[in-house]
């Protein structure tokens, strides 16, 4: 598991850790199209990615796994859960992908390879995404013991915006099956600290 540390690991005795993982690849990922709330399933490569990641996650002490209701995240989590002997994934609806409204299905890049602006009144505002996602993560943290280690399978935009908020600088693109780790030592009352960001579980 290759993770890039952004801060020293806590030396406190009881630290609750959450591993944030982006789902496996879908056809729309491969085609560089905005997915948002559109429920696009994993493609064959995405299923293989999830299986590879599941094996790499074994033996790290994970006790539970969460996923959003969208099938690409839920199926990724199910594969990880089976391989790691975890219960069926719990659903975290407020970690669902950012809604891109009427832009869903549109290309991410123009003909020159430049990223197209996401500017439309039907797109969910970034502050609203951050607020609901952090609230969901706090809810997960408070539901577990202080030294628990849990996994959350979510979506690229949500994870990137959460990391941006916590780090104080704009996090880069989150690739499929990239993993970041956040932690808290006080049931999330004072917020989270990013311990590793955008590491790759698979090549």
Q: Is 64 annotated as a binding residue?
A: no
Q: Is 23 annotated as a binding residue?
A: yes
State the Cα–Cα distance between residues 153 and 78, nearest whole angstrom.
Answer: 10
Token pair of 83, please? 């391989």
State the Cα–Cα distance between residues 101 and 85, nearest whole angstrom.
Answer: 37
Q: Is 72 annotated as a binding residue?
A: yes
Q: Is 22 annotated as a binding residue?
A: yes
State the Cα–Cα distance between residues 96 and 30, nearest whole angstrom.
Answer: 20
Q: Is 169 annotated as a binding residue?
A: no
Please, are residues 159 and 73 in contact by the beta-carbon 8 Å criterion?
no
Of the listed 64, 78, 97, 183, which one is catalytic? 97
Q: Is 84 annotated as a binding residue?
A: no
Token pair of 46, please? 């995405």
Active site residue 97: yes
Binding residues for substrate: 22-29, 72
Residues noted as catalytic: 23, 97
Q: Which residues are annotated as a binding site?
A: 22-29, 72
């Amino acid at each position: 598991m290759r993770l890039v540390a952004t801060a020293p690991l806590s030396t406190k005795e009881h630290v609750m850790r959450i591993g944030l993982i982006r789902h496996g690849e879908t056809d729309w990922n491969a085609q560089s199209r905005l997915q948002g709330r559109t429920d696009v399933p994993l493609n064959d490569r995405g299923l293989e990615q999830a299986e590879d990641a599941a094996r790499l996650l074994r033996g790290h002490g994970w006790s539970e796994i969460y996923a959003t209701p969208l099938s690409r995240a839920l199926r990724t989590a199910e594969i990880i859960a089976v391989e790691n002997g975890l219960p069926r994934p719990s659903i975290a609806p407020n970690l669902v992908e950012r809604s891109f409204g009427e832009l869903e299905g549109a290309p991410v890049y123009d003909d020159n390879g430049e990223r197209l602006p996401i500017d439309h009144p039907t797109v969910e505002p970034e502050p609203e995404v951050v607020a609901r996602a952090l609230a969901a993560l706090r809810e997960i943290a408070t539901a577990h013991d202080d030294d628990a280690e849990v996994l959350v399978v979510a979506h690229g935009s949500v994870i990137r915006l959460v990391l941006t908020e916590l780090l104080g600088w704009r996090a880069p693109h989150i690739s499929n099956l990239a993993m970041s780790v956040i932690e808290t030592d006080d049931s999330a009352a004072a917020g989270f600290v990013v311990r590793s960001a955008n590491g790759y579980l698979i090549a």
